[in-house]
Structures are given as structure tokens and as C-alpha cells.
Chain A
């Protein structure tokens, strides 16, 4: 109960900081940035703050972490103490340090995967919408067939074939999620390609790559950015789940999903330590969702 109280206290403090930051941004900024700060709801400010903290921790992990990522520095399953603020794990590595490095590994890998899925899915989707005809038909029907299989099941099938290394994890999840991005990018781009300015650019004699890069992409950015946030959440949860199942990122690399799996036995003794990495995952996903919600709200033009 004491722990639950401190979690609630921590979250309240984060909300308070977000509120203060928003208030100071409103008073100090001017112009476009000012209207953005005026528009932002508290939940989105909280989300941005959390994302910023995660980014700082991930980038400066070696400077913050008290111990190296993979070194055994104490006994097994030590309790929380001054030397090891969050105790040690199953083979005596410092939990806090691994949690901090996990921000770098887990989030980094999820981000790389999302980016890859996005680049592939968006370019193919827009290309299919632009070209139309048989290329569109072939790609769309292929994606339809792949989407008829549940994502996790399809990832598991592909991981069996390509083995469970980090590289194949990234490629497999990116491939599975690229099908979802393809759907959205194609749907969005179909609305854009019928515009007159596309016709004009075609008459100027511009190539497909120019059209995608300079005409269609800038005009379909808003839904794609929101989709990037949502997609990141899905990818992040998928990678964490697979790591938790022992099929994703593996020890000794510090990763939040596999850390839960490794230390899960502690939970049956009433120790909350293994829940911390899972909580880190949940907090980041909630934060991203809050920001995406705000972006979608802005994009849809709704006020109030």
C-alpha cells in the first residue's frame, strides 16, 4: 500500500510539473509557440514531459546509471538499499541501472522498428495510391491476406523461421506493422492524389518519387504523424510482450520485457520490483497515447 501511495504521489508530482511548465510556457513564449502552449491540454503536457524524461534517460544512460548494464555487482535478489536503490536481479545485477539502460535498449529498438515499418509502409502505400492499377491491386490484396492473420501469431510464425535475434525481431515486427501502415497511408494518399496540384505536377513532368516526397507526403502529414505515435505504442507493446515471452530481446541486454520475466518469481513473494519495468512500459505508452489524442483532436479541427 505504501508503494501504491508513492506511485500516486510520483504521478501527481509529474502532473504538477507539467502544469507549471505549461504555465511558464504560456507566459514566456510568443507567436505560434504561444498558441500551441495555450491549446495543449494538461494530459498532453504530461505526456510530452514523460516522453522528454524518457529521451533524456535513454540518451544519457551511461552517465546516470550507478552500475554498468551487464555486470554482476551483488548477491541475488537483494532488497532495496542505499547501495542498490531498487535491489538486484536474479543473478545480482543492479536493478536501477538495468532499468535505466532498458530505456535505451527497449525504447530505442521499438523506435527503430516503428521508423522502419513506417518508411516501408508509407512509401509503398503512397506509391500504390499514386500508381493505381495492377500494382495497387497486387499490393493491397497481398496486405489483406497478411492482415487476416492476427499480428502476434504472424510474428511468432516468422520468428520461428528467422530465429529469435534482435535483428530478426526488428525486421519481423516492422514487416507485420508495415502492413497496417500501408493501409492507412494508401487511404490517406488516395484522397490527395485526385487533387489538382498533383495533376499539375504530373503535367510538369515530375517523377513518382518527386510526387511522393514533395507533393503527397507534406499534404498527408497530420494523420501520418498521429499514426506514428499509435504505431509506436503497438510496436513497443509487441516487442515488450515478445521479450517477456523470451522470444525478443534477451539477457544480458537490459530490456524491460525480459526483466519482468526474469524476476517474476519475486512477485509471488509480494515484492513489487519486477513490476517496475512493466510500469515503465505502461507509463510511456500512456504518455504517447495522451499526446496522440491531442494531435488527433487538433487535426480533426474540433475545439473545446
Chain B
């Protein structure tokens, strides 16, 4: 068992190293600016005094490594500094929005993972049948659609008739049931977008395994197709499926940005888009760091889980 723990520790430290590099990239993005950040933010007509004041406020007079260190240690303790556009602490802006975004992503995951696994297994079971063809064509089409297209089609069909609200007005006091009801459309949009991909990969992973000799053996023993898939193919297909699920959850992170804007959902994505149009680099960096950290973490979890579920990788010689 110590082998596993060592493997997990190595992966986690690699992940932390990667995250460190990512934070360096995000931070040094501002250093790429041709000229001075303060002048860029204030425009050409700014007086030297205001530029100097902004430089002092942003701490631009410190050398870059020191600024990076301050920014990183601040971020680790939850202090991301002050928003350039309205002077409020960024941690206040992020606070409840982070929870909202996580809620939406988990909601979409709770819907999409079971649906795509069932659809993928069924498509593999009834390969080349009518159901399989329809599911595949539907999946390819859904992958090709922009998220906002899917979102607005749902609005047109489901919100127009008054079944679900087209705008999400939630606040910290909204109870869980109302929350589920009000965020149903954004969650459904995300579900449709990621289900297609997950379903295709699940189907491919299982079909791949169905060609192996031990499945042939199980079939010759006279087992039912469902039992072959669930007992024999699925455990061995777990590693690729876990990878696909994690990748798609990571994809949800970027997917939420567009969907949050469509449904006016008070989440991190909306905050980031607003910050980009205000060119509020401090907020953008903070949100980008959170998104990137979640992305790295999900990939790390996928890596560890798929190793644990695969005995060949676990006991490598």
C-alpha cells in the first residue's frame, strides 16, 4: 500500500510544481505589456501624477520577483489584492461567486456523468444499431454547437413556456430546492455540451475492450451481453472513462463562462468577463488562477484515479 501513497505524493508534488509554473505564467502576463501597465490602464491622456499614484497603488515600483512573491503569498491566504476598476477587495467579489460556480459545475456533473455513462454503454451494447447511429450523430452535432446556441434553444423551448426561469436570480439565502430549480437551465446546457463527448469516449473505450479475448471467452460461456459489459468490460474501461470524466469536468470550468453570461448567473465566469472588458487585470489574474488551479487539480485527480483503477499501472515492474 505504501507504493500507492508514494505514487500519489509524487503526483501531488508534480501538480503543485505545475501550478507554480502556471501562476508564474499568469503573473508574468502583465510583464509582457509593451510599456507601462499604469499608462495602459489610464490611457494616453493621463497626467504623470495619476500614473505615478496608480503605480504606487499597484506596487509597480517594486521589482517583479518581489511583486510575484507578494501576489502568490497573498493568493494562497485568500487575499488577491484590490480590484483596479472599483477598488474593492477581490476576495469580497469572489466570495459567494466561487460557491455559485462550483454549485453549477457540480450540478451539471451530477446530471451529465450518469447520463453519458448509460448512453455510452447502451451505444456500445447495441453497436451499429439505429439507437447507436442516432446517439452518435446527435453527439457529433452537439459537440459542434456553440454553447450559447444550445443555451438559447433551451431558453426558447423551456423558458418561453414559463416552465423554467431564463435568468438566475439566486442569493446566499436561496434554499437548496429553489436553487436546483432556478439553475436547471444553465446546468442542462452544460450537461448537453459535455455529455456528447463523454458518451462518445465511453462507447469507444468499451467497444475497444469488447474485441479482447476474455470478452470472447465470457461470450462463449453464454453470459448475457449486459452482464459482459457491466462485469467484464466496464471495470477495465474505468481508467479511460475516469480520464474523460475529469477532462470534461475541467472543460466545464471554461464552459461555465459563456453559460453564466447567457443566464446572468452570478458566478466567477461573469465576473471574469466583466473584468476583461474593464481591463481589470488584477481580477482577471485572480480568477484565472482559480480556474487554472481547478483545472490542474482535476487532471491530477484523474491521473491518480486512473492509475489506481488499473492494476497493470499499480504494480509496474
Contact = CB atoms under 8 A, between A and B. Distances in A.
Interface-centre pick from A149, A240, A264 (highest chain B CB count, 10 A) = A149
Interface string A255-273: 0010010001001101010
Interface in B276-294: 276-277, 279-281, 284-285, 287-288, 291-292
Interface string A142-182: 00011011111110111111011000000000000000000
A247 interface: yes
Nearest to A278: B149
Contacts of B253: 150, 153
Contacts of A286: 140-141, 144
A167 to B, nearest CB: 14
B144 A268 contact: no
A156 B296 contact: no
A149 B295 contact: yes
B72 to A, nearest CB: 16
Contacts of B145: 282, 285
A267 B155 contact: yes
Given A149-B295, A150-B250, A246-B277, A285 B144 contact: yes
Contact size range, A: 35 or more
Contact size range, B: 35 or more
Contacts of A267: 152, 155-156, 160
A268 B288 contact: no
A272 B254 CA distance: 27
A245 B273 contact: yes
Contact of B152 (A150, A151, A278): A278
A225 B217 CA distance: 41
Interface in B243-287: 250-251, 253-254, 257-258, 261-262, 272-273, 275-277, 279-281, 284-285, 287
B18 A148 contact: yes
Contacts of B141: 282, 286
Given A148-B292, A160-B276, A244 B148 contact: yes
Given A151-B254, A286-B144, A156 B156 contact: no
B250 A157 contact: no
Given A150-B295, A270-B160, A272-B156, A241 B288 contact: no
B29 interface: yes
Contacts of B18: 145, 148
A237 interface: yes
Contact of B288 (A145, A156, A237): A156
A150 to B, nearest CB: 5
Contacts of A282: 141, 144-146, 149
A241 B279 CA distance: 18
B281 A148 contact: no
Nearest to A280: B149
Contacts of B195: none
Contacts of A281: 146, 149
B282 to A, nearest CB: 10
Given A150-B295, A161-B33, A156 B272 contact: yes
Contacts of A152: 254, 257
22 contacts: A145-B21, A149-B22, A150-B253, A150-B291, A151-B254, A152-B257, A153-B291, A160-B275, A160-B281, A160-B284, A161-B29, A161-B30, A164-B277, A245-B258, A245-B273, A247-B276, A260-B149, A260-B152, A275-B152, A281-B149, A286-B141, A290-B140
Closest 5 CB pairs between A and B?
Answer: A278-B149, A285-B144, A152-B254, A286-B144, A150-B254
Given A164-B276, A267-B155, 4 more contacts: A153-B253, A160-B284, A275-B153, A278-B148
